[in-house]
Structure 1
Amino acid sequence: MIFMNKLFPDLHKKDIYEIDYRGLYNKGFRAVLFDIDNTLTTHGTKADRSNIEFFKSLREIGFKTCLISNNKEKRVSPFAKAVGSPYIYKADKPSKKGYIKAMNTLNVKREQTFFVGDQIFTDIWGANNAGVYSVLVDPISPKEEIQIVIKRFFERIVLFFYKIKTDKVKKNDKC
C-alpha cells in the first residue's frame, strides 16, 4: 500500500476548470505545471481560444506556468507558444527531472508548485516523486493509443483504492 500512495494524487477533479486556482494561490502556490494531451486538449490538437484565455486567467491570478510533456518538441512548442508558456518536451515522466527543470525554469520551490495531468503512471507518479502537489484530472477523450488504453485499466484499480482512502479520510473528518 505504501507504493500505491506514490500513485495517489493529492487532489482529483473532473477537469482543469474544476480546480480552485485562486484558492491554491491563496495557500501559497505560485506555479502550475501542466501535461498537454488529454489534460488541456485532445491528443495532437492545437491550442484554441479557450486554452489561450485559460492561461491568461492563470497569469492574472499571479501564476507562472510551464508545460511538461513526454511528447516531441514539434508537438509541444507550438502549443506552448500559443498559450504563452515555457515548456519541457521529452520530459521522460515519471522521472522527476522534467518537474525539477520546470521549477528551475520558473524559479519556484516544490512547495510553491502543483502539477495537473490526466495519467497516474506518468503525470501523478512523477509529480509525487518530485515532491510536487499533484492534481489528477479525468482524460478529455477516450480515444487514445493502445499503450495508454492498457494503462487506463490499471489506473481504475489505483483510483478504486484512492477512493477508499479519501472516503475514509472524509468519514474520519466528520467524527
Structure 2
Amino acid sequence: MLEKFYPDEYVDSAYSIDFKTLFDMGYRGILFDIDNTLVEHGADATERAKNLFVKLREIGFSVCLISNNQKDRVERFNKDIQANYIYNAHKPSTKNYFKAMELMGTTPKNSIFVGDQLFTDVYGAKRAGMTSYLAKPIDSKEEIQIVLKRYLERIVLHYYRKHLSNKHKDGSNYENSNH
C-alpha cells in the first residue's frame, strides 16, 4: 500500500542528480518543485539554481516549475530562471503534471519530476506515470503543516528503505546462487 508513495530515486539534493546521463537515457523534460527542493522556503532563485537551469538547457532539457504556491511566489522565483511554470498546482492532482508536460512538449515516459515531499510531489508524479525523484529538503525550518507531513513521511521512508534493502538482498542472494 505504501509503495504508491515510494520515489523512483531518493537523492541528497536536486543538484546532485546526473542530468546528462538522464538525457542520454532519453529523458527530455524535468518538472521541479521550488520550495525546499531548489531553494529554502520562500527564497528567491540562488546562483546555484540559476546555473542549474542554464546547464539543463545546454544539455537540451525542457523545464517547468510546478508549485502549490501562489502566483507571486512562483513568479518571484522564476524571474531569473525564465522557465515554464504552473502555480497553485494542487499537487498531487495529476492535471497540472500533464499541463506541465504539454508546455514542455514531453510525455510521462520522457519526463522526470523532482521534489521534496512524498505525499504531494512524488505521489502526484507516480499517479501521472512519471519517474519521480525525491530530494532531501534543503532546510529543516518549515511551515507547521509540512512539519506534520514530515512525520508521516519518515514512516513511509522507513518502509521504502526496508523495501530497497530487501530488493538488494534478493538480488545478492540470486547472484550468490549462480557462483
By how many angstroms is 1:57 displaced?
A: 0.5
Q: Indicate which of 18, 29, 32 corresponds to 1:31.
A: 29
Match in the other structure for 2:154: 156
Which ranges in structure 1 are unaligned for 5 or more consecutive residues? none
Between the aligned residues of both structures, percent identity stands at: 47
Q: Indicate which of 101, 104, 107 corresponds to 2:102.
A: 104
Equivalent position amino acid for 1:36 in 2 = I
CA distance, structure 1, for counterparts of residue 70 and residue 160 of structure 2:
31
Q: Indicate which of 163, 168, 171 corresponds to 1:170.
A: 168
CA distance, structure 1, for counterparts of residue 65 and residue 168 of structure 2:
32
- 1:60-92 deviations in whole A, cap 9, x for unaligned? 111110000000000001212311201000000
Match in the other structure for 2:56: 58
> Is the partner of 2:69 in helix, strand or coil?
coil
Equivalent position amino acid for 1:33 in 2 = L
Equivalent position amino acid for 1:159 in 2 = L
Equivalent position amino acid for 1:23 in 2 = T
CA distance, structure 2, for counterparts of residue 17 and residue 106 of structure 1:
21
What TM-score results when the alignment is normalised by the length of structure 1? 0.96
Runs of 4+ that moved beyond 6 A: none
Which ranges in structure 2 are unaligned for 5 or more consecutive residues? none
Equivalent position amino acid for 1:30 in 2 = R
> Is the partner of 1:33 in helix, strand or coil?
strand
CA distance, structure 1, for counterparts of residue 47 and residue 15 of structure 2:
15
Q: Indicate which of 9, 13, 18 corresponds to 1:15.
A: 13
- 1:130-170 deviations in whole A, cap 9, x for unaligned? 11100000000011111100000000000001001111122
Superposed CA RMSD: 0.9
Aligned length: 173
CA distance, structure 2, for counterparts of residue 48 and residue 146 of structure 1:
25
By how many angstroms is 1:110 displaced?
A: 0.8
CA distance, structure 1, for counterparts of residue 8 and residue 47 of structure 2:
29
